[in-house]
Structure 1
Amino acid sequence: MARIGFLGTGEIAGAMVRGLAGQGHRILVSERNADHAAMLARTIPEVTIAANPQVVAGSDVVIACLMAATARQVLPDLPWRSDHTIISVMVDVPHGDLATLCAPATDIALTIPMPFISSGGCPLPVFPDAASVTALFGARNLVLPVASEVALNAHFAASALSAPILRLLAEGTGWLARETGDPVAAEAYVTALFAGYMTPDGTGRHFAGLLDSLATEGGLNAALRAALEDLGAPAALGAGMDTLRPRLGLPPATGAAS
């Protein structure tokens, strides 16, 4: 089993720690966000709190979960070794910058975990080499190697769909709860309704195909979709994703969203 260190102990780091618990690893977490670190150490037996230099010195795999500005400040002063494996979950810190900040370490992978990695079933796009991510998380999560850092950054943009789509689901659930007077049942219904749609068919057109199947003229789905399209909601979502391009180093949009 591995000696794993976490630099940064926010929500994502905590979720990854919980996803690794019970597998025999030795896990060091940094003192940053002391309350969260203390909670992890209190509830997960294999977790120990240490200062950043001790986290790096005592680990074979280091998972970097810092904000970009903080990473640029603290990473160069840590005791990196050439045999370190680094997994970065940080937006705004490119692979080339990490190679400089963490020299002489060269085994560096970038990935994008979501909070539910704690229980498995999380898609993990990875660049440039998925071996380290697969070794630690592949048994319970879908590891998706991507061909370039630009492709990975596009996945960062897609991961940001979570908040606006959850906002729409929360709005719809709230509407149903107000009509029925039962918020618990409303949440159970909407959750199960959309869980039933979430098995891709391998065509690359799963959601488009579902839209086609729900396009019966005069049907409720078609009517509500038309109302939202008249309000500009789908186009606004695509335009909003395009606003992330400069930050993520993505090329300008070349065509309208379908």
Structure 2
Amino acid sequence: MARIGFIGTGEIAAAMVRGLAGQGHEILVSERNADMAARLATEVAGVRIASNEEVVAGSDTVFLCLLARVAETVLPGLRFREDQAVISVMVDVALARLKALCAPATEISITIPLPPIATGGCPLPVYPASPALEALYGARNMVFAVRDETALNAHFGATALCSPLLEQMLTTATWLAGFTGDADRAEKYVSAVIRGYLPERPEGGMLAEALRNLSTEGGLNATLRTAMAPANADLRSGLDGFRARLGLDRGEA
């Protein structure tokens, strides 16, 4: 059993709390988002609502789930301890800044949880390596340390693919429903088609192999991919647009 605290109770924090359900932990969630905190306290055994100060005082591992601008106002007033593990899920707050905000704590890491962490199967890149993160989430999720903060920040950028990809899927489902008259089934169909190419345990080279298998000359997949080829340049340009914000200007990827 562990004592775990969450500063900030948005959607990602809620997913992380749900991912710990049934494991006997003592979990403190901050009262910043009162409605979400109340739902978690009702839904997950062992969850209690507390002030930010109480969360830090009563936890051995503290997750920081705030917006960067909010963190700058909230964290300086909290009394972290040297023996605590602090794990940030915040974009735009560098490790050096976290060390200043959370002193005297020294075991400080940054990770990138996504909504699937609620049920397991979420990739969790982390820098630097975090024994606390591995202990809490490693059994059901892929936790892996990356080589440096730049590499971690690039993972933040890569997660931005989710929105445009989902928009393309929704566009396709809407197009399909225009012919079938069944929007619900069209959305389920498109989701199932894409899911079919994503195995439960992905491996390196999987994407390239799936693409080769869908490259029959004159086939529908190859034809649509050719028509959409200019979008690849737009995608790369959009990802490169994160370079300054995420501190990625250290050479070409």
Interval containing the TM-score (normalised by the shorter chain): over 0.9
Q: Percent same amino acid at aligned positions?
A: 56
Listed as ranges, the matches of 1:79-158 within 5 Å are 79-158=79-158
1:38·1:49 contact (CA, 8 Å) conserved in 2? yes
In the alignment, which residue of structure 1 is the partner of 2:178?
178
Confirm or deny that 1:23 pairs with 2:1.
no
Q: In the TM superposition, what is the alpha-carbon distance from 1:253 to its structure 2 partner?
A: 6.1
CA–CA separation in structure 2 for the residues paired with 1:165 and 1:252:
27
In the alignment, which residue of structure 1 is the partner of 2:50?
50
Q: In the TM superposition, what is the alpha-carbon distance from 1:209 to its structure 2 partner?
A: 2.5
1:109·1:132 contact (CA, 8 Å) conserved in 2? no
Question: What do residues 166-194 of structure 1 show as CA deviations (whole Å, max 9, x unaligned)?
Answer: 11111111211221112232222222211
Alignment length, in residue pairs?
252
CA–CA separation in structure 2 for the residues paired with 1:58 and 1:130:
20
1:6·1:64 contact (CA, 8 Å) conserved in 2? yes
Question: What do residues 184-242 of structure 1 show as CA deviations (whole Å, max 9, x unaligned)?
Answer: 3222222221112113763x33222322221111110111111111xx21111111011
TM-score of the aligned structures, taking structure 2 as reference length: 0.95
Which amino acid letter does the alignment assign opposite residue 224 of structure 1?
L
When the two chains are superposed, the root-mean-square deviation of aligned CA atoms in Å is 1.4
Which amino acid letter does the alignment assign opposite residue 246 of structure 2?
L
In the alignment, which residue of structure 2 is the partner of 1:238?
236
SS in 1 for 2:156: helix
CA–CA separation in structure 1 for the residues paired with 2:47 and 2:210:
44
CA–CA separation in structure 2 for the residues paired with 1:85 and 1:106:
8
TM-score of the aligned structures, taking structure 1 as reference length: 0.93
SS in 2 for 1:20: coil
In the alignment, which residue of structure 1 is the partner of 2:163?
163
CA–CA separation in structure 2 for the residues paired with 1:169 and 1:2:
40
CA–CA separation in structure 1 for the residues paired with 2:227 and 2:65:
41
CA–CA separation in structure 2 for the residues paired with 1:45 and 1:19:
12
Question: What do residues 76-133 of structure 1 show as CA deviations (whole Å, max 9, x unaligned)?
Answer: 2101110011111000111111111000000111100001110111000011013111
SS in 2 for 1:83: coil
CA–CA separation in structure 2 for the residues paired with 1:19 and 1:60:
18
Does the C-alpha gap of structure 1 residues 220 and 253 become closer, same or farther in structure 2, counting only changes over 3 Å?
A: farther
Which amino acid letter does the alignment assign opposite residue 141 of structure 1?
N
In the alignment, which residue of structure 2 is the partner of 1:247?
245
In the alignment, which residue of structure 2 is the partner of 1:72?
72
Which amino acid letter does the alignment assign opposite residue 137 of structure 1?
Y
Which amino acid letter does the alignment assign opposite residue 232 of structure 2?
P
CA–CA separation in structure 2 for the residues paired with 1:20 and 1:128:
22
Question: What do residues 43-63 of structure 1 show as CA deviations (whole Å, max 9, x unaligned)?
Answer: 223111111000100111100
CA–CA separation in structure 2 for the residues paired with 1:48 and 1:139:
24
SS in 1 for 2:29: strand
Confirm or deny that 1:7 pairs with 2:7.
yes
CA–CA separation in structure 2 for the residues paired with 1:108 and 1:186:
45
CA–CA separation in structure 2 for the residues paired with 1:113 and 1:201:
17
SS in 2 for 1:23: coil
The 4+ residue runs of structure 1 with deviation greater than 4 A are none
